[in-house]
Every structure is written in structure tokens, then in C-alpha cells.
Amino acid sequence: MGNNLFSVLISTIKSRFAAIVSRVRLWTSWNYISTRIIGGIRDFFFKLFDVRPKNKNDYYTIFGWMLSKKLAYSAIIIIGVLSIWYISVTTSIFSSITEAGGLRTYAYDSVLLRLASNRVRIKGRSGYLAYEGDVKDGYVTGQGVLYSPDNVILYSGAFEKNVYEGQGTQYYDSGVLHYTGEFHNNLYEGQGILYREDGTEEYDGGFAAGLKEGTGKLYDSGGNAIFEGSFSSDNIVYSSLLGKTAGEVRSMYFGKQVLYEENEQIGNDFAVVMNDIGALYYASGDESASDDSEKVRAVYVLSDVFRSGNMEADEISDLKLIFGEPVYEGNSSVIMPEAVAINVLNNQARAVSGRVNMDTTEVYSDDIIINDFDTTYPVYIYTFNKGDLIYSFVCNQKGGYFDFFEIMESGADDEAA
């Protein structure tokens, strides 16, 4: 009888709690939970997009316009969802990690790239690797490497807000070294070394705004030093040779040179052609031309283009824009250094009115005695004064183009006299 009472008790308890157990099982089942969540989200959006205002308190008043509060909330949420979607599909924030080095990769126009401040990779418009290196506050800043679409390194070094700034190395499109040194605002600035595309060194020295400026050393195509001295706006400052002795010039110019000296019967002047820098210098005096004490009186630049800063001239009309009106112009007969310059230019291409007749004796291949020359050979001269220097441009005739020019210090002729 006791067992029967116990069974009845157990059955009674089970019947009382069966409903509770069933309900607990229901509440903890995934189907029930997911159904309630989805239903709650559905109800939320039903309420959210039920933008019909019920009374005047459901409106915002903006500049006299009535705007539904629920409509405004809906618009904000939609814009937020769309923004999150856009960020996720246009950047690599969620899943794009590079295979090598663990660097995060961004498209060049990625929104999140604007917020990055670490070492990254950036892809160009067509998907190639354009940059690998440091970024800060969305700018390429720090150390990095810039690549071409052909995966050739174009630049390696320091950046500041997307431009070359500081120490760096630039390459030709072929990948050959072009320049190594200091940069400012994408241009060569400070000390650096410039190379030709064949790999030979061209120049080692100062730069400003991307051009040779200050002191530096120039090299020929064989990599041999040919000149060490002053440069301005990418050109040799030829006037820096004025007043130097022949010995001092030789410590600046190391290239091939040819000495033209007058026979003692006609004078003591001499001219030295510096082939590798396209110029010659002229000196005169009572002593032998072999004496290094003779000082340079004039430098002849064997170029038909004159450069001053950012300006360039190859016609007399252009020269007047640089210098103003000439202090002298007129017909003239050649003097010895002009005759040498004309003949040197005619060895390269026809210049002025052709060669000047000249009787010479070749002592050595680089030492030539001038016995006589045609002093009636006609030229037309334009002379300009700029600061302490006098520039004389030698032409075939009045107006038009010039063939080469002379630089002298003011008063040099008076001193010689």
C-alpha cells in the first residue's frame, strides 16, 4: 500500500510540473528564439517605417517646413546602414590582409585609408601595387616605396603628405637609378647625385627646385670628372672663371683642352678651348702663355642659347627682354678668341659665315700656334651690361639669332689697355 501511495505522489508532481518543463524547453529551443528575434526585428521595422505622423508632436518644424520625426529617424538609419555597407565593400577592413608581411591593403580611393596611420599597401586605379610604406592621417608620410604599373620601383625614401620630402632615391621608368639625395616638394633640393639612364654619373652637388644649383662636380658619359665649380639654374656659371689664373682653371676643369697661342710676332694672347663644357677662355699679357699667372679676361660660351634663371633666349629680341636695350651693337671684325670659337663651332656644324682663314702651326695636338688669321672676317655684335658683367653676342648679321657669346667683367678692356 505504501508503494502505491508513493507512485500516486510522483504522478501528481509530474503532472503539476509537466507544463513548466515543456514551456522551459520551448523557451530554450533555437527555433523559438530565432522566431522571436526575427519577429521583434520585423515589428521594429514595421514601426520604424510607419512614418505617418499621428499628431503635431510627431513633427519637426524647420524653417517653416513640417518634417515627420519618424521619417527623419528612418532616413538616418538607412543612411547609416548604406554607409556601413559601402565601407565594407570598398575597403579591406573586414577581410583583406596581404599574404606577405601581414600588411593591410587599401584601394587608392578607400575611405578608411583617410584614417589609416600605420604601414600599409595601396593599390592603384587598375589594381596594381602602387605603394608600400608608412601612412599617417590618410597621407603617405614616412618611409615608403612607390611602384609603376609594371612593378618597377620609381621612388624609395621619405615622404611627407604624399610628396617626396627628405632623403630618397628616384629611378627611371626602366628601373635604372636616376637620382639619390635630398628632395623637397617632389623636386631635388639640397645635396644629391644625378645619373644618366645608361648608369653613368652625371653630376654630384647642390640642387634647388630640381635644378643644379651651388657647387658641384660634372662628369662625362664615361664617368670621368670634367668640371668642379659653381652652377646656377642647371648651368655652369662660366663667369666664375673670370679673373682665375690658368693654373686655377685647371683645378676646376679636368676635361680635354686645346691651347691656341699667338705667334710672338703678332701678340701674346692665348685661348684655351674646353671641349667638354662647350667653352673657351681668353687671356693676354706680356708673359708666355705657358705661364700659369696669366688671368682669364673673357669666357666664350659656345652655345646659341642663353639662360638666365627660368628664362631662355636664342634670338636678339629675347635677349632684350632679359637685359633691356644693348649698350652697343654694330658690325665688327673678329678678334683672335672669336676666330678660334668660330672655327671650333664649324668643326661641329656650320656657324656664322663659315670658317675663319687661319695660318697655324701644330706643336702638339693640344698646343697650336696662330701665325696669322683673317682679321677682316665680318661679324655683328650685340653687347649688354648686367651688373658687373658684360655680355657680347656674336651674330652672322643684324637681328635674328646669335651663334655664341662672350662674358667679361666690366672694365676688363680698360685694365688691358
In tens, the pLDDT along 98-120 reads 444 568 999 988 888 888 888 99
Query: Do 279 and 410 fall into the same domain?
Result: yes
Cα 327 from Cα 385, distance rounded (Å): 7
Query: Do 306 and 382 fall into the same domain?
Result: yes
Side-chain-facing half-sphere of 32: CA atoms under 13 Å: 8
Q: Which is it for strands 177-184 and 187-195: parallel, antiparallel or unpaired? A: antiparallel
Cα 350 from Cα 361, distance rounded (Å): 23
pLDDT given at position 248 = 94
Domain-embedded: residue 216: yes
- What's the mean per-residue pLDDT of the chain? 85
Cell triple for 47: 514601426
- State the angle between helix axes of 69-90 and 30-48 in degrees (0 to 180), rounded to the nearest 10: 120
Domain-embedded: residue 221: yes
Cell triple for 183: 628632395
State the residue for C-alpha cell 597621407: 139
Domain-embedded: residue 95: no
Domain-embedded: residue 78: yes
pLDDT given at position 112 = 86
Cell triple for 315: 634670338
Query: Do 313 and 252 fall into the same domain?
Result: yes
Query: Do 135 and 250 fall into the same domain?
Result: no
Domain-embedded: residue 31: no
Query: Do 245 and 204 fall into the same domain?
Result: no
Query: Do 226 and 249 fall into the same domain?
Result: no
Residue 39 DSSP SS3:
helix
Domain-embedded: residue 24: no
Domain-embedded: residue 21: no
Cell triple for 90: 570598398
pTM: 0.72
* Domain boundaries, position 61: 46-90
Cα 206 from Cα 231, distance rounded (Å): 8
From 232, 255, 273, the end of a domain falls on: 232
Task: Give, for 4, the enclosing helix (H) or strand (E).
Answer: helix 2-28
Cα 113 from Cα 92, distance rounded (Å): 10
Cell triple for 82: 548604406
Cell triple for 171: 629611378
Give the burial class of 156: count Cβ atoms within 10 A of its Cβ; 0-12 exposed, 13-18 middle, 19 or more buried.
middle
Domain-embedded: residue 384: yes
Query: Do 221 and 258 fall into the same domain?
Result: no
> Within 10 Å of residue 257's Cβ, how many Cβ atoms?
17
Q: Which is it for strands 153-160 and 139-147: parallel, antiparallel or unpaired? A: antiparallel
Task: Give, for 133, the enclosing helix (H) or strand (E).
Answer: strand 129-136
Cα 329 from Cα 102, distance rounded (Å): 72
What's the CATH code of the domain at 121?
2.20.110.10
Query: Do 249 and 393 fall into the same domain?
Result: yes
pLDDT given at position 143 = 97
Query: Do 199 and 274 fall into the same domain?
Result: no
Residue 333 — left, alpha, or beta (φ > 0 → left; ψ -120 to 50 → alpha)? beta
Query: Do 69 and 147 fall into the same domain?
Result: no
Closest CA relative to residue 233, chosen from 207, 199, 204: 207
Answer for the pair 279, 301: CB distance below 8 angstroms, yes or no.
yes
pLDDT < 70 positions in the chain:
1-27, 32, 42-74, 85-102, 285-292, 412-417
Q: Provide Rg for the chain, Cα atoms.
A: 42
Query: Do 154 and 189 fall into the same domain?
Result: yes
From 187, 207, 232, the end of a domain falls on: 232
Structural domains in the chain (count): 3
pLDDT given at position 415 = 44
**Residue-wise pLDDT tens digits, 76-103:** 777 877 777 666 655 444 444 444 456 8
From 207, 232, 257, the end of a domain falls on: 232
pLDDT given at position 75 = 72
Closest CA relative to residue 343, chosen from 373, 383, 299: 373
194 bridge partner residues = 179, 203
Query: Do 211 and 255 fall into the same domain?
Result: no
